[in-house]
Structure 1
Amino acid sequence: MNVYYQLILYVHVFSAALSIGPLFVLVPLINRMKSADGAALDIQLSVFQSAVRIVKHAGHLLVLSGILLIVSSGYRWTTSWVAMTIMVMIASIVFLARAFKPVIRELGQGDAERALLLAVLTRKLWTYILLLMIMLYFMVVKPDFW
């Protein structure tokens, strides 16, 4: 294994950890939002948005390093685990684009039912984590579907 491939692999694994890790910090943060006053809620929503931004940008690095790994590894784009990863990745990109921002915006306005919105936010957070964990499974196990 050459140094170039090892470096790209390291970047890929690091960006995978960075694109999943911050999401688990958001679970207790959502629980704290239930009882936060206005100023604290604004800070918590800002932290939530920052974490999502980190996850999004780490995802960009993850995709770029993944492309470089596929090109330099000899795997084909039609290999089943590569194709399945790409399909789940597209689903997660579409999901992330619409998942959090509208709910956070409503929470920030303060005129809506907080408990209901936090339940929606929790469901969307776990859905996104599940999508990322499915992609992680495909990349690590490399199952052969066809």
Structure 2
Amino acid sequence: MLYLWLIFIHAVSAMVAIGPFFVLIPMLSKLRTAEGAVLNSYLDSFHFTVRLSKHTGHVLVASGLLLMWLGGWPWSTPWIAGTFIVLFASLLFMARAFSPTIRKLRQPEHDRQLLVNKLSRALYMYMFVLFVMLWLMIMKPTLW
């Protein structure tokens, strides 16, 4: 019964880690023209989503490790090893992709179009990485 609850927690944390990024897609175009308090609210939304994803990622990893332990899955299982490789790469990417760009957009003198384009690329790249991890978890491919 514990294993089934862990699967549920793992799945919900994956949804919460990925889902809010879809809300940010329409905000990208609005960021190009927003000013003042509206701009700050959009940037706050980006910042909140990144933090939410980071914290639900902790639950995701913890529940995944527990599932590995309880299910007897070895670290050498290809889809598990592949997921952790992609996970560590995504952590490095996320640390540099969003927060510094959001901070620069909050500064009075900035190249808005360049920074929004950078944020847009980061958003789509990170979503792609999240979907690769999701694919590995669901499909469990034999990579080697």
TM tier, smaller: over 0.9
Paired residue for 2:120?
Answer: 122
Q: Mind listing any 5+ residue stretches in structure 1 that lack a counterpart?
A: none
**What one-letter code is carried by the residue in structure 2 that aligns with 1:134?**
V
- Tell me how far 1:103 sits from its aligned partner: 0.5
TM-score by length of 1: 0.96
Q: Identify the residue that residue 14 of structure 1 maps to in structure 2.
A: 12
| % identical equivalent positions | 43
Matched residue count: 144
After superposition, the C-alpha distances for 1:49-98 in whole angstroms (9 at most, x for unaligned) are 01111111010000000000111112111011110000000001111111
Tell me which amino acid in the other structure corresponds to 2:57.
Answer: G
Mean Cα deviation higher: 31-40 or 131-140:
31-40
Write the letter of the residue equivalent to 2:143: F
| Aligned-partner SS, 2:64 | helix
Amino acid paired to 2:89: A
Give the drift of 1:110.
Answer: 2.8
Aligned to 2:36: 38
Distance in 2 (alpha carbons) for counterparts of 1:48 and 1:128: 13
Does 1:67 find its partner at 2:65?
A: yes
Runs (4+) of structure 1 exceeding 4 A deviation are none
Amino acid in structure 2 at the alignment position of 1:31:
S
2:78 paired residue number? 80
Tell me, in whole angstroms, the C-alpha distance in 1 between the residues paired with 2:25 and 2:68.
33
TM-score (norm 2): 0.97
User: What CA RMSD, in Å, does the superposition of the two structures yield over aligned residues?
Assistant: 0.8
Distance in 1 of aligned mates of 2:88 and 2:111:
31
> Unmatched 5+ residue regions in structure 2?
none
Distance across 1 between alignment mates of 2:124 and 2:108: 23
